[in-house]
Structure 1
Amino acid sequence: MTRASPKRRERNYRQYCGLAAALDAVGERWTLLIVRECMLGPRRYKELLADLPGIGTNLLSERLKKLCALGVLSHEESTDRGYVYELTGMGESLREPVKGLARWGMALLDEVPDDSVVRPHWGFLAVEAMADATRCPSVREEYEFRVDDEVFHLRVDHGVTEAARGACADPALVATTDAATFVRIGSGGCTPLEAVEAGKLSLSGAPEAVLRCSTVLGLSPGS
Structure 2
Amino acid sequence: MAARDYGQYCGITRALELVGERWALLIVRDLLVGPRRYGELAAGLPRIPTNILASRLKELQEAGIIRRAPRSRVIVYELTPYGRELEPVVVALGAWGAKALGDPRDDQVITPDSMTMALRTAFRPEVAATLPATAYAAHLGAAGLLIRVDGPALDVTRGEGPADLAFSAGPGIHRLISGALEPDRAVTTGVVEVLHGRATLLDRFARTFRLAA
Both proteins in one fold, TM over 0.5: yes
User: What stretches of structure 2 of length at least 5 have no aligned partner?
Assistant: none
Aligned length: 207
| Partner amino acid, structure 1, of 2:11 | G
Whether the aligned pair in 2 keeps the contact of 1:133 and 1:156 (CA below 8 Å) is: no
Partner residue of 1:47? 40
1:177 aligns with 2:160: no
User: What stretches of structure 1 of length at least 5 have no aligned partner?
Assistant: 1-7
Larger radius of gyration: 1
| Partner amino acid, structure 1, of 2:67 | S
CA distance in 2, matches of 1:106, 1:193: 22
CA distance in 1, matches of 2:165, 2:115: 14
CA distance in 1, matches of 2:180, 2:72: 43
Kindly state the Cα deviation for residue 132 of structure 1 after the two structures are TM-superposed: 1.7
- State the SS of the aligned residue for 1:110: coil
Residue pairs, 1:120-131, within 5 angstroms: 120-131=112-123
Q: Which has the higher contact order (CA 8 A, sep 6+)?
A: 2
1:155 aligns with 2:149: yes
Most deviating of 102-111 and 187-196 = 187-196
CA distance in 2, matches of 1:67, 1:198: 42
2:22 corresponds, among 7, 21, 29, to 29
Residue pairs, 1:1-223, within 5 angstroms: 10-76=3-69, 83-139=75-131, 141-148=133-140, 149-157=143-151, 160-166=152-158, 173-199=164-190, 200-202=192-194, 204-205=197-198, 207=200, 210-218=202-210
Whether the aligned pair in 2 keeps the contact of 1:143 and 1:155 (CA below 8 Å) is: yes
RMSD: 2.9
In the TM superposition, what whole-angstrom CA distance separates every residue of 1:105-137 from its partner, at most 9, and x where no partner exists? 112112221222332442222111100212354
Mark the CA change 1:123 to 1:93 in structure 2 (over 3 Å): closer, same or farther. same
Whether the aligned pair in 2 keeps the contact of 1:106 and 1:186 (CA below 8 Å) is: no
| Partner amino acid, structure 2, of 1:52 | L
- State the SS of the aligned residue for 2:133: strand
TM-score, with structure 2 as normaliser: 0.81
In the TM superposition, what whole-angstrom CA distance separates every residue of 1:68-96 from its partner, at most 9, and x where no partner exists? 1222111135678x741112222222112
Identity in percent:
31
Most deviating of 180-189 and 160-169 = 160-169
CA distance in 2, matches of 1:121, 1:145: 15
TM-score, with structure 1 as normaliser: 0.78
